[in-house]
Structure 1
Amino acid sequence: MKEERPVKIKVEDLILIFGKQKEQALKLLGEGKTKKEILATTNCTVGINRANFEIYEGEFFVIMGLSGSGKSTLLRCLNRLIEPTSGNVFVNGTDITRKNHKQLLDVRRSEMSMVFQKFGLLPHRSILDNVAFGLELRGEDKEDREKRAQQAIDTVGLRGFEQQLPAQLSGGMQQRVGLARALTNNPEVMLMDEAFSALDPLIKTEMQDEMIGLQNKLKKTVVFVTHDLDEAIKLGDRIMIMKDGIIEQIGTAEEILTNPATEYVEAFVEKVDRKTIITAGSLMHNKPTMVRFGKDGPEGTLRKMRTTGLDVLPVVNDDQVFLGFVWVNDAVISAKRKDPTVESVIKRDVPTVGTEVTVEEMLPLITATRSPIAVTDKDSGVLLGIVSQNSVVIEATRFNEQEITELKENANHN
């Protein structure tokens, strides 16, 4: 995620405490008492503990954690369905915690929409009327709201079901209705609370794919709550992991997998299939020794190989554009011929990838060649780094300690 993107939502020192003795609990929290200690002393529960984070415009931001982590509670604080005990929530630079009831309703109706796990459809209204309901509450005329509702229905692929009742639709289709209703207001921010968790696995996957397609098209700012790590990885630009109301880590899936901030996060992600997440950008050696075409001849190339202990080196031109690889045996032959350059021995038909390509996608590339994989800028062709075949294989076959234990137990059992 690029830092220069405009900030859409900013949360500062957000605290939420449930219970009657909030002031005492807040004081104890400030003294560094734990959630358990505060509960024992005040009978108050700390739902959110000093949350600080930013969400960028157009970002798909996932909040995840186990039950009781505070993820859904935090989501509801973003539009004040739950009132924070202290702290600030800025949307488009405006602090919504300072808005009165009428102003807050305007924010919910124009800037933010919410999609719940329970579809919340009105059973005796048609799909068209359900989707248009928010516009009806805003007082918009029937013709206009039905036109906009129809556009949203078309967007989520439900054309032809406008006059059906919710009970006549499958669970996945009902969730599409909820999504269409949220889109009808053309919100800048969509808040989605476990939106797909009630669906069966096949429909859930279908809805995830649908959501990815919609986001690619509409570029909304989406805040999505889930307890499913695979879902978070599939959907999220960045993921925030919570435990007991505390933010444990925020980062891309790759950042969290390669550099977990806490033992909790490490345990949380230990069984993720890393090869579908880890990319060339993480594995590459970003300062490789290079042969500079036009400057390094065969003898100079061999000297670099002897110095580094490598038997293959990338070749670049004066602009650092990747040209191919040269191997030690070929460099020796070229030197014996007294070639002025290594041009005749450059292997050009070699794999190149961008930084975002995953280990899983790189595996087929190493089966047809013994060459390393060059990581290049997709626009300029400039060499960014080198991924060795060994690093791809090691990452693809990596087992965590739990998996190794299970393998040993299975072997002993058999």
Structure 2
Amino acid sequence: MSTEAKLVCRNVWKIFGAGAREAVGAAGGKPNPEELARAGLVGAVRDVNLEVRTGEIFVIMGLSGSGKSTLVRCLSRLIEPTSGEILFNGENLLAASEARMIEIRRHQMGMVFQHFALLPHLTVLDNVAFPLEVQGIDRAKREERARRMIELVGLAGKEDVFPRQLSGGQQQRVGIARSLAVEPELWFLDEPFSALDPLIRREMQDEFMRLQSVLKKTIVFITHDFDEAIRLADRIAIMKDGEIVQAGTPEELVLAPATDYVAEFTRNVARSKVIKVSSLMHPLATSLPAITISQTASVSEAAPLFANAGEVVGVVDATDQPVGLLRRADVIDVMMQG
């Protein structure tokens, strides 16, 4: 993951109601909720600032009505923000023409929503190839790329099947393949698994992580499920009443909540799920043990290894180079904290 920002939000507002822009201007760019209410306006997104880094999974989460889905639609200008700046690769999207935005969405952004929105009269192959047809790509080339995406999401052999003949999880895979067919730089996913049964949802999360390990996309992922967020996210932003109240790694949110709301939001999360091995490891003073784990793994993932590892497990980085040791006693301490 790069530290370079792919997407930057600066003071983004989305206010619903007549005279919204005038209300923001009259309040010096930062109207408070009372001012909005008096004017009969609703602040769905309020003064949002965030950066999404190249190659990371950035999760935006909050309860229903917190503004997370409105925000993600503002980021792609499917909904027009009231004010602020949204920079994509340094280009201010709010200054872009509608024709330019169509070009960006067609060629550089992918989108997956909770409702699959597959075209029922088209086969799986034609559904996945559809955005490439809109781009004007010739049939042979778009079908070749569509077949690669179908294989990537584990649906090889289903190319000639219609959506009604697929399970919910398979339909969602088609939606994912379709959004990937345009080979997007930036991928928006708005609660893509929330309509699925729990077991299928878990399988789709695993599939999503497998895809990300291969594709290394820059992803903005919307969810209201904190367990899903900590499984998937490099960083998380928590929204409340249209505002981002805290953004950081899952570990930072659980161990150092910035507000009472964040503390309550994360109260029931097991620390072992969010504390990373890198936070507990000790310097490597001896040779690397035979059993190892990634420094980015959670303590809960490391714990079962001690059944065969004895007192220490080796810790390695993304290139499998040794970086430290993890001790059984430290893991037990975290697990006992609940």
SS in 2 for 1:323: coil
The one-letter code of the counterpart of 1:18 is F
Q: Does 1:99 align with 2:39?
A: no
The one-letter code of the counterpart of 2:185 is E
Q: Does 1:15 align with 2:9?
A: no
Question: Cα–Cα, structure 1 residues 215 and 376, in superposed 2: closer, same or farther, change >3 Å?
Answer: closer
Distance in 2 separating the partners of 1:158 and 1:350: 37
Q: Give the drift of 1:29.
A: 5.3
Q: Give the drift of 1:258.
A: 1.1
Deviations 1:34-53, CA, capped at 9 Å, x for gaps = 42x13430111111111111
Deviations 1:293-342, CA, capped at 9 Å, x for gaps = xxxxxxxxxxxxxxxxxxxxxxxxxxx85038xxxxxxxxxxxxxxxxxx
Q: Does 1:397 align with 2:315?
A: no
The equivalent of 1:356 in structure 2 is 296
SS in 2 for 1:322: coil
Is the CA contact 1:38–1:45 (under 8 Å) kept in the aligned structure 2?
Answer: no
The equivalent of 2:23 in structure 1 is 25
Q: Give the drift of 1:279.
A: 2.6
Q: Give the drift of 1:177.
A: 0.9
Is the CA contact 1:17–1:25 (under 8 Å) kept in the aligned structure 2?
Answer: no
Q: Give the drift of 1:376.
A: 6.2
Q: Does 1:66 align with 2:58?
A: no
Q: Does 1:179 align with 2:142?
A: no
Q: Give the drift of 1:124.
A: 1.1
The one-letter code of the counterpart of 1:81 is L
The equivalent of 1:226 in structure 2 is 223
Q: Give the drift of 1:377.
A: 6.5
Q: Give the drift of 1:200.
A: 0.8
Distance in 1 separating the partners of 2:231 and 2:189: 15
Counterpart mapping for 1:187-202 below 5 A: 187-202=184-199
Distance in 1 separating the partners of 2:53 and 2:74: 18
Distance in 2 separating the partners of 1:54 and 1:220: 15
The one-letter code of the counterpart of 1:358 is S
Question: Cα–Cα, structure 1 residues 360 and 22, in superposed 2: closer, same or farther, change >3 Å?
Answer: same
Q: Does 1:165 align with 2:162?
A: yes
Q: Give the drift of 1:22.
A: 0.6
Is the CA contact 1:322–1:381 (under 8 Å) kept in the aligned structure 2?
Answer: no
Q: How many residues align?
A: 336
The one-letter code of the counterpart of 1:187 is P
The equivalent of 2:285 in structure 1 is 322
Q: Give the drift of 1:366.
A: 6.4
SS in 2 for 1:61: strand
> Among residues 211, 216, 233, which one is paired with 1:214 in the alignment?
211
Deviations 1:216-256, CA, capped at 9 Å, x for gaps = 00111111100011111111111111111111111111111
Is the CA contact 2:305–2:313 (under 8 Å) kept in the aligned structure 1?
Answer: no
SS in 1 for 2:247: strand
Q: Does 1:82 align with 2:79?
A: yes
Q: Give the drift of 1:395.
A: 2.1
The one-letter code of the counterpart of 2:91 is T
Question: Cα–Cα, structure 1 residues 366 and 29, in superposed 2: closer, same or farther, change >3 Å?
Answer: farther
Structure 1 stretches lacking a partner, 5+ long: 287-319, 325-347, 400-414
The equivalent of 1:278 in structure 2 is 275
Distance in 2 separating the partners of 1:360 and 1:16: 40
Tell which structure's C-alpha radius of gyration is larger: 1
The one-letter code of the counterpart of 2:18 is K
Q: Give the drift of 1:81.
A: 0.1
SS in 1 for 2:158: coil
Q: Does 1:244 align with 2:241?
A: yes
Distance in 2 separating the partners of 1:323 and 1:154: 44
The one-letter code of the counterpart of 2:23 is A
The one-letter code of the counterpart of 1:322 is A
Q: Does 1:125 align with 2:114?
A: no
Question: Cα–Cα, structure 1 residues 257 and 138, in superposed 2: closer, same or farther, change >3 Å?
Answer: same
Structure 2 stretches lacking a partner, 5+ long: none
SS in 1 for 2:286: strand
Question: Cα–Cα, structure 1 residues 190 and 366, in superposed 2: closer, same or farther, change >3 Å?
Answer: closer
Distance in 1 separating the partners of 2:75 and 2:206: 26
Distance in 2 separating the partners of 1:253 and 1:105: 34
Question: Cα–Cα, structure 1 residues 99 and 375, in superposed 2: closer, same or farther, change >3 Å?
Answer: same
RMSD (CA atoms): 2.7
- State the percentage of identical aligned residues: 46
Distance in 1 separating the partners of 2:290 and 2:146: 51
Q: Give the drift of 1:352.
A: 7.9
Question: Cα–Cα, structure 1 residues 360 and 13, in superposed 2: closer, same or farther, change >3 Å?
Answer: same
The one-letter code of the counterpart of 1:231 is E
- Structure ranking higher on relative contact order (CA contacts 8 Å, 6+ apart): 2
TM-score (norm 2): 0.89
Is the CA contact 1:15–1:85 (under 8 Å) kept in the aligned structure 2?
Answer: yes
Q: Give the drift of 1:281.
A: 3.3
The equivalent of 1:253 in structure 2 is 250
The equivalent of 1:55 in structure 2 is 52
Is the CA contact 1:12–1:51 (under 8 Å) kept in the aligned structure 2?
Answer: yes
Is the CA contact 2:125–2:143 (under 8 Å) kept in the aligned structure 1?
Answer: yes
The one-letter code of the counterpart of 1:123 is P
Q: Does 1:115 align with 2:92?
A: no
Distance in 2 separating the partners of 1:122 and 1:369: 52
